[in-house]
């Protein structure tokens, strides 16, 4: 029986999960692939650190020992970050190895070069784990849904923020407390910026949009806005509107270009994404043939991410067994423009504190009208004799017009504060 050898780059949470899972599934692999799969070498920072269940003889702190090992056919990169990950992957591909990676940061920025190199070398470069952890999404997009013209990919692709928003929505927590609880549970890091500001989600959106629309979208193409400004008051209104607030990554392929952004959004409770709770992730797509579809599951964590990595490893092993590595390569054969964010149309929920006197609403409505913003709904609550809270929900309007309207409103004496501006899914 063929014995396929793996070089594992990194032995953090995901790397440890991958190592364990490959061991746990050796019987299945032998029977479904007809080959044994064995981790031969593991790249770590410190080869002297004791690691339970890992033979120290496997460890190396020199990645060349993996890239130059002729027996190793699959390199699994779970070290993360840009460098040295990129250099090692490129060298591994150039040395004729197949690569499985979970590195969303790298793929969201340098995916094209990595995929092109894999294609030149006729090798597999798979990265199911880089988007939404254990949830199958790359392979469904590239294969199962390959017959579709996909116009929308939209998802909850960050578990930390979904956990925080769920706690705020269901348990009435405020943002700071929910974040603290997420940190206690290990869902959020000590520095939570990448999660709560939407940067992590934006990387995943870039990768998904590239695959779904057959055109490269990189991290810097994605507009991002985090969830730090969402308040209990906004959530109360969401409930009143039979909606939830979710941090969504949204990518659309429109006639005049690709739109890509990450931002909190009010979403009606009947939408399939609305019932995605806690730290779960889900990706919703719309294609011209399949109509709506959604993929739901664990977006992070040791074993869910290892599930995706090992699924890729098994697929590479099948390709090795059948002599067809490089079978699925880059599918970005279009060069579609990415729309300037100001040109993207959205509907908005705007909550503001205004002077409680006749004519204020009319003045505000006039500003909106002058900036091409149509009002869909107005809710006014008197908070004290002098002040009122005014909520305006708009029709879809270009982001740049809304920005101009908000600038104008901010300069008005009768408006004390614009408390929230949240996009609404319509």
Residue number with CB closer to its own copies (77 or 389):
77
408 binding its own copies? (CB under 8 A): no
List the beta bridge partners of residue 59.
Answer: 42
146 binding its own copies? (CB under 8 A): yes
Supply φ then ψ for residue 68, to 5 degrees: -95, 0
Nearest approach in angstroms of CB 161 to its own copies is: 19
Supply φ then ψ for residue 243, to 5 degrees: -130, 170
Nearest approach in angstroms of CB 133 to its own copies is: 9
Residue 23 to residue 41: CA distance in whole angstroms = 14
Q: Is 15 annotated as a binding residue?
A: yes
Q: Is 159 annotated as a binding residue?
A: no
24 binding its own copies? (CB under 8 A): yes
67 binding its own copies? (CB under 8 A): no
175 binding its own copies? (CB under 8 A): no
Q: Is 186 annotated as a binding residue?
A: no
Question: What does the CA dihedral 120, 121, 123, 129 come to, rounded to 10 degrees?
Answer: -60
Catalytic residue among 167, 204, 252, 398: 204
Q: Are 196 and 143 in contact (CB under 8 A)?
A: no
Contacting range for its own copies; rule: CB under 8 A; set: 40-48, 73-81, 299-307, 391-399: 299-307
Q: Is 58 annotated as a binding residue?
A: no
Residue 423 to residue 425: CA distance in whole angstroms = 7
List of residues 6+ apart from 345 with CB closer than 8 A: 396, 397, 398, 399
Q: Is 369 annotated as a binding residue?
A: no
Is residue 204 part of the annotated active site? The answer reads: yes
Residue 85 to residue 63: CA distance in whole angstroms = 10
Residue 281 to residue 157: CA distance in whole angstroms = 5
Interface pick for its own copies out of 2, 143, 193, 374 (rule CB under 8 A): 143
Instruction: Render 306-317 in DSSP notation, one character per residue.
Output: HHHHHHHHHHHH
Give me the residues that bind its own copies (CB under 8 A), please.
Answer: 17, 21-22, 24-25, 28, 31-32, 128, 134-136, 139-140, 143-149, 214, 270, 272, 274-277, 280, 282, 287-298, 301, 303-304, 306-311, 313-315, 318-319, 322-324, 326-328, 331, 333
Q: Summarize the annotated binding site for NADPH as residue ranges.
A: 104
**Could you list the active site residues?**
204
């Amino acid at each position: 029986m063929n014995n396929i050898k793996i070089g594992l780059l990194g032995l953090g949470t995901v790397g440890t999960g991958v190592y364990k899972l490959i061991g746990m599934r050796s019987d299945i692999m032998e029977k479904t692939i007809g080959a044994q799969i064995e981790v031969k070498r593991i790249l770590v920072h410190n080869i002297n650190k004791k690691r339970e269940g890992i033979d120290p003889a496997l460890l190396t702190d020199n990645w060349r020992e993996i890239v130059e090992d002729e027996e190793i056919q699959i390199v699994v990169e779970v070290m993360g970050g840009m460098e040295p990950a990129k250099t090692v992957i490129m060298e591994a591909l150039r040395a004729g190895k197949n690569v499985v990676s979970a590195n969303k940061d790298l793929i969201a920025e340098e995916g094209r070069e990595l995929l092109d190199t894999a294609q030149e070398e006729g090798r597999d470069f798979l990265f199911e784990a880089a988007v939404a952890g254990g949830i199958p999404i790359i392979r469904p997009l590239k294969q199962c849904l390959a017959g579709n013209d996909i116009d929308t990919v939209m998802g909850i692709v960050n578990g930390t923020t979904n956990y925080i928003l769920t706690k705020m929505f269901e348990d009435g927590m405020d943002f700071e407390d929910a974040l603290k609880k997420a940190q206690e549970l290990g869902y959020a890091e000590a520095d939570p910026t990448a999660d709560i500001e939407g940067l992590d989600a934006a990387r995943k959106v870039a990768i998904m949009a590239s695959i779904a629309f057959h055109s490269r979208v990189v991290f810097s193409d994605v507009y991002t806005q985090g969830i730090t400004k969402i308040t209990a008051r906004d959530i109360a209104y969401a409930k009143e509107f039979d909606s939830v607030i979710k941090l969504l990554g949204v990518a659309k392929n429109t006639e005049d270009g690709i739109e890509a952004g990450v931002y909190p959004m009010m979403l009606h409770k009947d939408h399939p994404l609305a019932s995605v709770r806690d730290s779960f992730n889900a990706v919703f797509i719309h294609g011209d043939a399949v109509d709506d579809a959604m993929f739901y599951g664990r977006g992070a964590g040791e074993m869910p991410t290892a599930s995706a990595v090992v699924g890729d490893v098994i697929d590479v092993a099948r390709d090795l067994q059948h002599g067809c590595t490089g079978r699925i390569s880059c599918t970005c054969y279009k060069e579609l423009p990415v729309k300037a964010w100001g040109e993207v149309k959205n509907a908005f929920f705007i909550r503001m504190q205004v002077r409680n006197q006749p004519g204020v609403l009319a003045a505000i409505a006039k500003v909106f009208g002058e900036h091409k913003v149509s009002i869909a709904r107005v809710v006014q609550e008197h908070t004290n004799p002098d002040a009122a809270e005014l909520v305006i929900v708009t029709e879809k309007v270009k982001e740049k017009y809304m920005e101009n309207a908000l600038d104008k409103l901010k300069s008005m004496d009768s408006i004390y504060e614009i408390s929230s501006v949240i996009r609404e899914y319509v």
